[in-house]
């Protein structure tokens, strides 16, 4: 399949493809901004700003391919989306470690965050793939994915990340709180999408009747979450501590 990022390929009424295009452009623009600002950032925060740029850059590249895949096949790019998340979500979790490192965050916290995010995504993908032929395992894998997600929420809101951020100073504590809201509220669209996509024959079958185009919601949510995450980190790098 030839991959050409050409806006003329998008039909005027194809809002899903349009949000893929806008998402790609927005995250590419954010990447350029973050990468250029690394050189103007204090040494203590350079890695954090660089990681922010990597997150949006990886997402932009995947959106480039997801848009063309969707136009060519008419299908939701589930595989490509999970590949994107498997790379970018752990990096978003790495940000929590980086901003609390100076307060004494241990490498074990980093691996706990990464492992939880990988479990959350792998089990979520397995549940959606299984749902394509046999929905019987969707609830099981969705539950495991949810447990991993709430473990991350716990670490950020009440666990080690919260405690370390509080001891690192008001700027880090405020940044952690803002990032925590992205995890708690912004990431909530993903389990909703899982429920809507695997609802047939499940106790939550009502989600199938919501009439939501989850690709549009995912596209907007991804752009807001990933760019917003990076802007919080960027603002922290410019704050006095």
Domain 14-237 has CATH 3.20.20.70: no
Q: Rounded CA gap, 37 and 46, in Å?
A: 9
Number of H helices and E strands in the chain, helices first, is 9, 0
128-160 per-position pLDDT tens digit: 876 555 566 888 889 999 999 999 999 999 999
72-94 per-position pLDDT tens digit: 888 889 899 999 999 999 999 99
Cβ atoms of 83 and 62 closer than 8 Å: yes
| DSSP string across 5-28 | --GGGS-TT-HHHHHHHHHHHHHH
pTM for the predicted model, two decimal places: 0.90
H-state helical runs in 101-212: 107-133, 138-157, 160-167, 170-184, 189-197
| Domain boundary assignment for the chain | 14-237
Cβ atoms of 176 and 156 closer than 8 Å: yes
Q: Rounded CA gap, 216 and 212, in Å?
A: 9
| Across 210-229, average pLDDT | 86
């Amino acid at each position: 399949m030839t991959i050409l990022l050409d806006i003329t390929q998008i039909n005027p009424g194809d809002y899903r493809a349009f949000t893929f295009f806008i998402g790609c452009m927005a995250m590419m623009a954010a990447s350029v901004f973050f990468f250029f600002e690394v050189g103007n950032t204090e040494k203590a925060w350079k890695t954090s700003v660089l990681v922010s740029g990597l997150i949006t850059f990886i997402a932009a590249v995947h959106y480039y391919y997801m848009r063309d895949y969707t136009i060519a096949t008419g299908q939701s790019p589930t595989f490509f989306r999970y590949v994107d998340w498997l790379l970018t979500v752990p990096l978003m979790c790495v940000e929590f470690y980086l901003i609390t490192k100076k307060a004494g965050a241990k490498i074990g916290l980093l691996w706990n965050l990464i492992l939880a995010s990988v479990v959350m995504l792998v089990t979520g993908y397995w549940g959606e793939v299984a749902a394509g032929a046999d929905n019987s395992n969707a609830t099981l894998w969705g539950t495991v994915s949810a447990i991993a997600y709430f473990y991350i929420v716990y670490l950020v809101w009440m666990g080690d990340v919260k405690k370390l951020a509080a001891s690192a100073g008001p700027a880090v504590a405020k940044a952690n709180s803002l990032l925590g809201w992205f995890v708690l509220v912004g990431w909530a669209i993903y389990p909703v999408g899982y429920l809507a996509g695997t609802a047939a024959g499940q106790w939550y079958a009502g989600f199938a009747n919501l009439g939501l185009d989850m690709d549009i919601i995912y596209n907007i949510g991804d752009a807001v979450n990933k760019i917003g995450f990076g802007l919080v980190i960027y603002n922290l790098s410019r704050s006095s501590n």
